[in-house]
Chains A and B, each alone.
Chain A
Amino acid sequence: MIYCPNCGTANRDGSRFCNDCGHKLPSKTGIVCPMCSHMNPPANVYCDRCQARLVPAGPTSPPAAPGAPAPPAPVKKGLSLPTKPAGETEPPPGEPETTPGSGLEAEPEETPEWLHRLRAATPKPPPQATPEFPPGEEMPEWMRPAQGEQLDWFDRLAGEPPPPPRDPSASLRARPAPAPVEEEPEAWMPDLAPGSAMRQEVTSSTQAPEGEADLPDWLKELTRPPAAPADEPALRSPRPEGAGSEAEESALSEAEGPALSGVEGSLDWLAAAAQEPQPPIEAVGGEPPVAGEIPDWLAALSEQPQAGETGLAREAPAEEREPPAEDWRGWSPSTTLEEPSLAGEEPAGEADLPAWLVGISGGQASRELRPAKSSTEESGESEAPPHDADVPREAWLKDLGPGQHAPEEAGAPAAAGAPPSGVEPPGAAVGAFAGADVDMADLTATPDWLAHVQEPARGAPRSVGADLAPAQEPAPSELPDWLREIGPMPVLRSPRPEGAGSEAEGPAPARSETPFGELPSAPHEARELLPPGEAQLADHVTTPAFADEQGRSFTPDFDQAVAGAGLEAAAIPSWLEALRPVAAPTGGEEGGAIETEGLLAGLHNVLPAMPFIGKPQGAPAARHPQVPPADIARAALFQRLLSAGALAPTAVGYQPSAIGYQPRLRARIVRWVIVVVLVLAAFAPNLDDFIAELGIFQLGSVDPALYAGAAAQIDSLDQGQRVLVSFDYDASQAGEMDPIAEALLVHIRQRGAQAIAVSLNPNGLALGARVVESLGEKGIPDAAFVQTSFHPGQAVGAQSAILSVPADLIVVLAGSPEAMRWWIEQATLSGAEAPIVAGASASALPQIQPYLQSDQVDAVVQGLMGGLAYQRSLDPNQDAGKAGFDRLVRSEALYLSQIAFAGIILAGLIVSLVAGRGGRPDAA
């Protein structure tokens, strides 16, 4: 079968044009399966019957001709196998390589590698122009981007390259502000990026009212104009060594001044706190205010601290503490996230800080995160700041400003401006997220969770909240890590500013150079570099107890990595907690899909409703069953056999090179020989002289049995009797049936009977009319029919005709055995008593013999010879005259053609038997 490439209709072998649409059919009609010999369409890759591979895999297929147009994609009707070859080419250039529903269109060149790996690992769904929706339904809004539009949030994440190894502030600020996110589930995603809308609104002056609306109510209540800086000098955290002079701080504050001005409406208290010194925080015990769980996304983003500078190790004396360089999150304008050593580098200026960070701290972050500068500042910070009874609950925030350190070891003079060991200035931690500068003077209440954070070495703890329990100063080893972070956290070594501590403070801890967001691959190595005290604390961090303290689930790998990398588990304030993306499933659900790649690695349920990201439409999840090695070996062998092409087993009698209807030379010769013989056999009788001289066949020698019975039946008719004559043959059979019909009609007219023409075939009556016309030309004008009628319905029509037209004799002129059977059966069923005379062609004659045996048919005129002989018997001139001569020639020609055809059939049979199956010629 040849399958039309246009409409997919199956056509007979040898056809050049489609029977349905007329499209030109290719010469290569199909591919014979080497396994089961089943004929497949040319575009099939696998056999329709046995699923064997038809197209060899690999470079065995011949390359397409250069410049040749791509063949049209065939549309198969009823076929289900894919038609793409193994080495399918990519979409033509210029066309985006899109996957419907994935939304991952051609991305720019700066697409990160992880995204490429993700796409490569994802199986491509079958080509689908657009997702199909039932009529009347519209594509939901959340799916629109999947149709080809880029998912902003995704592309933002994908398009953002890893930050280059440079200043962290520059790297953070270099990230472009993502476009506003439209999709609700991903609203939090772009907000994570620095410079995002969420962070920008903290510093944007125009968004102050909106930001205020987003803040929790309790935070809004804190809105107040910033207090005078001199009112609360104690709120300032001790300036670490080398953190810079006051002039720098003022310069930074001036730079951030415009940014902070817009936050007055909502974050005035923060701004005020940033301007005032932060008193030391009174450790009042209690539990951490928040769950204390280090958000995974934050931990991943945070820089690995240097070994030995873990924020958890808070036991080191102040003079041994490394100058805090960054906040608890490891962000600092004065340090980098990747470069291992920045010793000696000046802290980055205010301009390098992210806008949101600068806006929050008002420049205080840079100041607060720097190493402690002077002891005077630190001593000043030891004073308890006045509490503001109006804001009992949020006052602790102000206490978390710079200078609020964990209890120092007794006798350990605090380094100039250096925060206590392991404790980041609370203000710095909070200030990093609180927005504008914190007015430490307004913070009067210390939350319970912060109560125990107070450093015992500071003396009288600062009462930051009347509702707080009496201060208790736990040992530094008992302090939770998140609290230690509040103080100056020597997580990362900052560039030693001028006047910073000498080498006596300790060797510079080794820092592991890690990319942004990655944890050190060998935490144990980093751990080895930790001081003893910090090492113990690092061990504590890796225990479930520590995780419980922080109110989060224990993840050994993470904890160990964090400990080994010297990171501190930081805590975030509650108001930020509300903005934090849910790392764990909400509603008490556990588990969920965990993102393993990209910036979101480790998060749960990051992409809850994005099936077309992780699961491309139409592509089922890949299964990887355990395949035995023996099966693999067999499959490999089978693949090699199929790929071999010529070595593959071929179907019996077919060669791969002879796919399709491509007549070979021998078949062509045979065909032309048959054509010549047929033409000669058909035309030769027209040579009258040749016929006369030949004299092989004599019409008179025809057996009278071929027509005698019919003649006897018609002879029994009386004048006026009705004869029902049925013309049930086609025009293509008229050459054989017309002589029979003429003979019968002439005999009926000679007997004086009336002929009634009926037909079950629409063309039958026309043929009957032509017979009557030809008889008129021969001088028999009375052979016209008395009545004509058409009876459709085959057997039903025959019964209708028999019942409606009473007749004394039924003459059936049938070119096919079916028509003859209808008439005979219905006549018998109807109980018609009229005899039946059949005029049958050579093809219908075998089917009529049983009816003759059963006496259902009384007589038969057999074929063309019988008709010609019947005519000759009725012609008194017989062979004389023109009519006689024509009959003679026709009979002679028929005789010769029969001999020729029989000889051709016999020769073909001998050739096929001698030459074998391989030499079987194509059907002629």
Chain B
Amino acid sequence: MQPETIQTILGAVLTFAVLSYLIGDNAVYRLAMHVLVGVGAAYAVGVAIGQVLAPRMFAPLLNRPAGGIGPLVFALFGLLGCVFLLAKIFPRTAWLGNVAVGTMLGVGAGVAVGGALFGTLLPQTSAAAGSLGPREAGGIVIGLLLLASTVTTLLAFTYRSASRRTPLGAIGLIGRGFLYVALGATFALVFISGASVLVAWMRNLYSFAGG
């Protein structure tokens, strides 16, 4: 039996196992979920070790790095961080893991905040402001529509009990409508994506079955 055949058969079995959730929660569905989570986790661990740990930490420590001492220093820092994280296993030494976790969180937060600020907020704000310009005939209209939808949507997120009875609260209802449309469109797109996958897979199964 060809590996592709086995792959297809397993895929089909797992597909129907997941689809069995339509009739209710059952053990077959749970089995498919367990397989999905387990295989995904195992593959992730393998990739992490092969793609990250091995070339970036083990190799410089075991072999003389060609790029000088820099990679070795980074490898040592990485090894130290791994040891600190492993120290979280024991309550007495758990405080050591806080150092590594704090470093990760700090670096990630810094990169994410910077990217959000300079990669999203500022550029899109300037773009939104520029859309009000008379460059295109429909630019101003679209820009105003975008501005109105943004402002009204923000006004919809007021949680005061009497907000609906105020003028701003009434305007917020318009923003709520925009929210409904946006969320509905997002849901529809997600749903269509899933349907596309289902159709494609059904096609493959049909082809495998000799259709």
A interface residues, Cβ below 8 angstroms from B: 14-17, 22, 671, 674-675, 678, 681-683, 685-686, 732-736, 762-763, 765-766, 789-790, 792-796, 799, 821-822, 824-829, 841-843, 845-846, 850-851, 853-856, 863-864, 886, 889-890, 893-894, 897-898, 901-902, 905
A683 CA / B126 CA spacing, docked (Å): 47
Report 17 cross-chain contacts, Cβ distance below 8 Å, ordered by A residue: A682-B195, A686-B211, A733-B193, A762-B47, A763-B43, A792-B48, A799-B111, A825-B118, A825-B120, A829-B118, A841-B189, A841-B193, A842-B192, A846-B185, A864-B193, A864-B196, A893-B199
A38 CA / B134 CA spacing, docked (Å): 54
Contacts of B196 in A (CB 8 A): 735-736, 842, 863-864, 894, 897
Contacts of A824 in B (CB 8 A): 119-120
Q: Are A855 and B127 in contact (CB under 8 A)?
A: yes
A839 CA / B40 CA spacing, docked (Å): 24
A864 CA / B198 CA spacing, docked (Å): 12
A825 CA / B199 CA spacing, docked (Å): 34
Q: Is B64 an interface residue (CB 8 A)?
A: no
Q: Are B44 and A795 in contact (CB under 8 A)?
A: no
Q: Are A853 and B195 in contact (CB under 8 A)?
A: no
Q: Are A796 and B111 in contact (CB under 8 A)?
A: yes
Q: Are A685 and B25 in contact (CB under 8 A)?
A: no
Give the size of the chain B interface in residues (CB under 8 angstroms): 51
A735 CA / B199 CA spacing, docked (Å): 9
CB-CB contacts of B170-195 with A at 8 A, as 1s and 0s? 00000000000010011011111101
Other-chain residue from A736, A822, A855, A890 in contact with B203 (beta carbon distance below 8 A): A890
Q: Which residue on chain A has the smallest CB distance to residue B46?
A: A762
Q: Are B43 and A735 in contact (CB under 8 A)?
A: no
Q: Are A902 and B111 in contact (CB under 8 A)?
A: no
A759: shortest Cβ distance to chain B, in Å?
9
B interface residues, Cβ below 8 angstroms from A: 22-27, 30, 40, 43-44, 47-48, 51-52, 107-108, 111-112, 114-116, 118-120, 123-124, 126-128, 131, 182, 185-186, 188-193, 195-203, 206-207, 211
With most chain B CB atoms within 10 A of its CB, the pick from A675, A683, A762, A901 is A762
A653 CA / B115 CA spacing, docked (Å): 45
A388: shortest Cβ distance to chain B, in Å?
79
Q: Are A796 and B119 in contact (CB under 8 A)?
A: no
Contacts of B202 in A (CB 8 A): 682-683, 685-686, 893
Q: Which residue on chain A has the smallest CB distance to residue B22?
A: A675
Contacts of A894 in B (CB 8 A): 192, 195-196, 199
Other-chain residue from B111, B182, B197, B199 in contact with A795 (beta carbon distance below 8 A): B111
Total A-B residue contacts, Cβ distance less than 8 Å: 163
Contacts of B198 in A (CB 8 A): 678, 682, 735, 897
Contacts of B186 in A (CB 8 A): 843, 846
Q: Which residue on chain B has the smallest CB distance to residue A854?
A: B127
B133: shortest Cβ distance to chain A, in Å?
13
Contacts of B22 in A (CB 8 A): 671, 674-675
Q: Are A854 and B126 in contact (CB under 8 A)?
A: yes
Q: Are A850 and B188 in contact (CB under 8 A)?
A: no
Q: Are B189 and A854 in contact (CB under 8 A)?
A: no
A864 CA / B199 CA spacing, docked (Å): 11
Q: Are A14 and B24 in contact (CB under 8 A)?
A: yes
Contacts of B189 in A (CB 8 A): 841-843, 845-846
A825 CA / B207 CA spacing, docked (Å): 42
Q: Are B30 and A829 in contact (CB under 8 A)?
A: no
Contacts of B193 in A (CB 8 A): 733, 736, 841-843, 863-864
Contacts of B24 in A (CB 8 A): 14, 16
